[in-house]
Amino acid sequence: MKNHESHEHHAYHAYHEHRVEEFQQQYQVQSESYHQLFEQLEKDYKPLLQGAVYHYRFAGEREDLLQVARISFFQGLLQFNGGSGVYFGHYIKRKVYGDLRTYTRREMRTKEREQLAAVDEKGQSLIETLLMSGDDDHDSVECNLTWQSLLDCLCLSEQDRQLIELIYRMQYRFAEIARLWSMDASTIRKRHKRILSMNLASRCRATGNDIIYRQ
């Protein structure tokens, strides 16, 4: 019984890998039949694509996710190496799920940057609200955004990044940072004011639907 199931399993994968190879050949010569082959293969793997979209349903719009999945599937058909020893079904599942994961993470980072650049009723962005909070009272600073997104958006040197994180994330006071870095507290305070005076938030302000930030 097990041998019979194993044979059917192998035959199933061999059939689809033959169709994938046929698709690659037809695409290479730009034969019109590759469109039909793609539609047939996409139909065969529709449950996989729908399952991947459902898995990431909370991270984006369904139509956008489905489009990403279809593009990933198409690319996978072209890139699959039948001599790799990996079944196409296993390969394409990893690729589609992986591409959707990359897409949703990128979308989340974009939304975070948009939130960072959003202006409140006082005309301040969230970056400005964070950085312009009181020097010693950091308990009132609330930010649901990831600090990595914030620091990426601010375009700071490594030491300035550390300073901002120590002050606003870890809630260190200037005197504590001064002792940690073996510097005067006045030097730390001046560096902090210099960062604020750079008008960093303006680099991340929205222009229409675009966000301006360091490339």
CATH (domain of 97): 1.10.1740
pLDDT tens-digit profile of 100-147? 999 988 887 777 666 655 545 555 555 555 555 444 444 433 444 445
- 41 with 138, same domain: the answer is no
Domain containing residue 177:
118-211
- 128 with 168, same domain: the answer is yes
- 186 with 142, same domain: the answer is yes
pLDDT at 110: 73
pLDDT at 204: 45
- Given a cut of 50, the residues of the chain with pLDDT beneath it are 1-2, 4-5, 119, 133-146, 199-215
Number of domains within the chain: 2
Residue that terminates a domain, selected from 78, 112, 146: 112
- Rounded to an integer, what distance in angstroms lies between the CA atom of residue 175 and that of residue 197? 21
- 70 with 125, same domain: the answer is no
- 67 with 133, same domain: the answer is no
pLDDT at 65: 93
- 154 with 89, same domain: the answer is no
Q: What angle do CA 132, 147, 96 make, to 5 degrees?
A: 145
- Round the CA-based radius of gyration of the chain to a whole number and report it: 26
Q: What is the pTM for the complete model shown?
A: 0.56
Instruction: Give the N- to C-terminal CA distance of the chain in Å, as an integer.
Output: 59
